[in-house]
Structure 1
Amino acid sequence: MTSYFEDSKPHIRMSALQPLIHEDEFRVKMHKVERRPQYLHQPPDGGWGWVVICGSFMCMYISFGIPRTLGIFVTPLVDNFESNTGTIGWIVSMPMTLLLTTGPIAGALCKKYGCRPMGILGGVLAGSGFLIAYSANNVFFLAIGLGILPGMGFGLASTASVVIISRYFENLFVLANGIIYLGGPIGYLSLPPITQLFLQMYEWRGAALILSGVTLHIAVGGALMRPLHLARDLKEINLHEDDENDKSYIHDGQSFNCENKNHKIKKLSKSKRVRSIFRGFVRHLELRLFCENTMFTILLPVILLSGFAYEAWLIYVTPQAEELQISATMSAILLSSTGVGAITGRLSQIAILHWKIMSSYTLLGFGTVVAWLSLMMDPLFQDFVGLLTFSITYGLATGIMMPLGPVLVRDYVGMNKLPAALGWFNLVRGTGALLGGSITGVLHDYYGGYYKPFIVVGMVQFMAVLMLFFKPCIQLCVEGKARWRTEKERELAP
């Protein structure tokens, strides 16, 4: 009788009815079983999520901090390239504009490939851009290195930071979102003086090289964004099973094939995965949100108008002070005081929402009203003390308002559609920022001062206040229409 152990390759009998398999094949199969992802019923609200918060905070700190420091490069770049201030100013404003306006594409890519790859890619793009700027010898390569690549990288990293937080936190999402959004004001408080020091020590090329290394740390923060598999992902996969033309589905960087009968999930081949990417790209943009979600559609104009006023204030508060014969040093304090107010406002917003003192929508209305009052009072107090007071107040108001956007978007559209909705949110906010910076400058040239332009900015913020007050009326109309449809369907039902 032949023993199993006489063969050079031992065998393992699984059962009397199953054929013999080699031990190495058995280990491979067991390894595949062990690597099968485990799906959680709900976000853990902690655990590795706190490490993810640290990585996301780093991404937000660099992504929002560095674009605010690029203004100090304007004068040396104009002298080096013998260009005009308008062209260089347009280049240094591109990172912040692209950070926001690339939102829909960044949201779709995060849902398609996952947050970790997009966070790492964002750091690589931004770091490569500053490296190109370091060696640029004309304005074209400077625009690519200092404007386009960093802007795209910052957009990917910031979107991935908020999306991954929404997967790890549900009950504590407000707290986690508030913590990572603190990175922005801390970044544009601390990075400008540090960058100014680099500029004085190593000139603009050396400073750009150092910033290249700093922005590569975004990739480190992105690497900490470990994918998390949730049960709602399986529900979303099942929603696409009836699609006869596209049975493949990709979520959070994982490719699946959905079969109608046994609901098996298996990895797709590379060719099918590439085809599914192009087929599902439009679906991941979630264009139906504008038709199906009334509250989300109402929120976007408010964000557009608030973004207009916010960017106009940040860009022109210092030139306004200098025009009023306030020294350059004291004028710079105004912008720093806005950052201090923003940090205070964001900490207050975290506490208020965490202990449920006020709803997120009511808090947004409060912040919008305070911002409007600050902007309207600014032209009436044309001295340093008055501007300092209203700079702190406006920073406090915007510190409350800005982090509430993702919270309200999540409440209105749900977690599954958050990446795409957050992308559209950032696009609208970036459009408002672009309009605010350009239109306010045109008004200054037309009127010859900042008095009337800041009145216009205050009126724009007041329009946002009016839209927020109309929201309850619109919500009642929407709910009434829904009840009418339900009653009508009951009457027509047999």
Structure 2
Amino acid sequence: MSSHRASATPPIFYGWFIVASAFAVTFMGFGSAYTFSAFVDSLQREFGASRGSVSLVFSLAGFLYFGLGVVSGPLADRWGSRRLAVIGMLFTGLGLAVASVARNLTEVYAAYGLGVGLGVGCAYVPAVGAVQRWFVKRRGFASGLAVSGIGVGTPVMPPLAALLIEMMGWRMTYLVLGGLTAVVGVGMALLIENDPRDRGLAPDGEPLQANAQATRPLGFSVGEAIRSPRFIGLYMACLICGLGVFVPFVHLVPYALDHGVPQTSAVLLLGAIGVGSTAGRFFLGGLADRMGRQQSVLLMFVGMAVALAIWAVSTGFWPLALFAFVFGIFYGGWVAVLPAVVMDYFGGRNVSGIIGVLYTSVAFGTLIGPSAAGFAFDISHSYTLPILVSVAANIVAAGIMAVMSKVSVGVAKGSAVP
């Protein structure tokens, strides 16, 4: 039986189709979500709202799409990732479409915040979690490719949204983005499969041993994982980092406009984050496989802190573009390596559920950070304090990872991680 399966194995390992599907889900989901910065000015003028109250729309969505992983992750482990990803892409498209007919900012909160937040929250963790089970040797690289959809979506979708807003207005733009997300996102999500054993394969495309079909993936239960020192440290690092890491996605374009950068150039700064992020996911994900993934996460936090310090002293387009690109590299590396670190620590049995719990840390940071930065600007008419707080948050997160690397070695040795 096993020899027949080995001979029937297709030349392209199906795990790479899982990667492609996760790429498309993250491209459409996060790419559409990160267009929000292009809509800030239009929403302020349409509803006569402050920058802080408009920023809260993105914070609500971000809180949900990271926080909902605590539900969607375990459901994916039980029901399969494909079903959750399809539902998520439908919700995302519907939320964008309904936002196009909002009559006030409260309805934008409900449509965009809840629709996009619930949609990406349903799809993201299941899609990324599925990738982890298909790879061992190249897990960091595969994870990086999967989430590089976020990085590619960031330079593509916001400029596209800005162009469409200029051509047809913000309402029709939301409708177009909603339809595109539903069609492409759902179509690609249908490719997802939860486990290579269902195709008679082991991770990395190796032939499945004859007695391995019924063997469950090894690893921690969700409860065991979240009580471990490694998880607690990783959770605290991501929570503190999350307070600052999403501030640029909402406020970099308004910041640039405030300093005289033209609208068309300001939107390109988000694209620079995306280009850097894509590079970080491709190259830092693979580099982490060789130098150690835990140590790499520490370096990502340090890199983001350095980049944010560049933002604090930048006012012109080119210094801001430098910040955006450097920040994107380390942000992209962090997003790429984090799921692989979870798999390394806790095994594959409940990886989606554990990733989902971990991402609630980022959810709280996303809820607080961008909106607090907006309200701080409304009071002081300056972004200096929010940027410096973001720098400090990443330095503290790096310190937590440094401590973890010294005190948690015994946990890894005693774990059931395969």
Whether these two folds match at TM > 0.5 is yes
Q: Of Structure 1 and Structure 2, which has the larger fraction of its residues in helix?
A: 2
Q: Where do 5+ consecutive residues of structure 2 fail to align?
A: 198-210
The amino acid across from 2:342 in the alignment is V
User: CA shift at 1:399, angstroms?
Assistant: 2.1
Q: What secondary structure sits across from 1:287 in the alignment?
A: helix
Matched residue, 1:63? 29
For the structure 1 residues 332 and 422, does the alpha-carbon distance in structure 2 shift closer, same or farther, using more than 3 Å as the test? Answer: same
The 5 A counterparts of 1:284-303 are: 286-291=222-227, 293-303=228-238
**C-alpha distance after superposition, 1:148-184 (max 9, x if no partner):** 1222111111112112212322333222211111100
Find out whether 1:176 has 2:109 as its counterpart: no
For the structure 1 residues 437 and 44, does the alpha-carbon distance in structure 2 shift closer, same or farther, using more than 3 Å as the test? Answer: farther
For the structure 1 residues 472 and 207, does the alpha-carbon distance in structure 2 shift closer, same or farther, using more than 3 Å as the test? Answer: closer
CA contact (8 A) 2:288 2:337 kept: no
Q: How far, CA to CA, are the matches of 2:25 and 2:280 in structure 1?
A: 21
The 5 A counterparts of 1:230-269 are: 230=197, 234-236=214-216
Matched residue, 1:133? 99
Find out whether 1:347 has 2:313 as its counterpart: no
Match of 2:246 among 296, 301, 311: 311
The 5 A counterparts of 1:61-460 are: 61-77=27-43, 80=46, 86-137=52-103, 141-216=107-182, 217-228=184-195, 230=197, 234-236=214-216, 286-291=222-227, 293-354=228-289, 356=290, 358-460=291-393
Q: How far, CA to CA, are the matches of 1:202 and 1:469 in structure 2?
A: 50
The amino acid across from 1:73 in the alignment is F
Q: How far, CA to CA, are the matches of 2:45 and 2:377 in structure 1?
A: 25
User: CA shift at 1:439, angstroms?
Assistant: 3.0
For the structure 1 residues 210 and 360, does the alpha-carbon distance in structure 2 shift closer, same or farther, using more than 3 Å as the test? Answer: same
Q: How far, CA to CA, are the matches of 1:45 and 1:367 in structure 2?
A: 35
CA contact (8 A) 1:318 1:335 kept: yes
User: CA shift at 1:192, angstroms?
Assistant: 1.5
Q: Say what the alpha-carbon RMSD is for the aligned residues.
A: 3.3
Which of 1 and 2 has higher RCO (CA within 8 Å, sep 6+)?
2
The number of residues matched between the two structures is 395
For the structure 1 residues 479 and 125, does the alpha-carbon distance in structure 2 shift closer, same or farther, using more than 3 Å as the test? Answer: closer
Worse overlay, 397-406 or 75-84:
75-84
The percentage of aligned residue pairs carrying the same residue is 22
User: CA shift at 1:85, angstroms?
Assistant: 5.5
User: CA shift at 1:88, angstroms?
Assistant: 4.3
User: CA shift at 1:437, angstroms?
Assistant: 1.3
CA contact (8 A) 2:239 2:361 kept: yes
**C-alpha distance after superposition, 1:72-128 (max 9, x if no partner):** 334444555566655544334433331111110010111121111111111222223
Q: What secondary structure sits across from 1:347 in the alignment?
A: helix
CA radius of gyration, larger in: 1
User: CA shift at 1:320, angstroms?
Assistant: 3.2
For the structure 1 residues 82 and 123, does the alpha-carbon distance in structure 2 shift closer, same or farther, using more than 3 Å as the test? Answer: same
Worse overlay, 326-335 or 152-161:
326-335
For the structure 1 residues 375 and 84, does the alpha-carbon distance in structure 2 shift closer, same or farther, using more than 3 Å as the test? Answer: closer
Q: How far, CA to CA, are the matches of 2:363 and 2:374 in structure 1?
A: 17
For the structure 1 residues 416 and 336, does the alpha-carbon distance in structure 2 shift closer, same or farther, using more than 3 Å as the test? Answer: same
Worse overlay, 198-207 or 218-227:
198-207
Q: How far, CA to CA, are the matches of 1:55 and 1:477 in structure 2?
A: 36
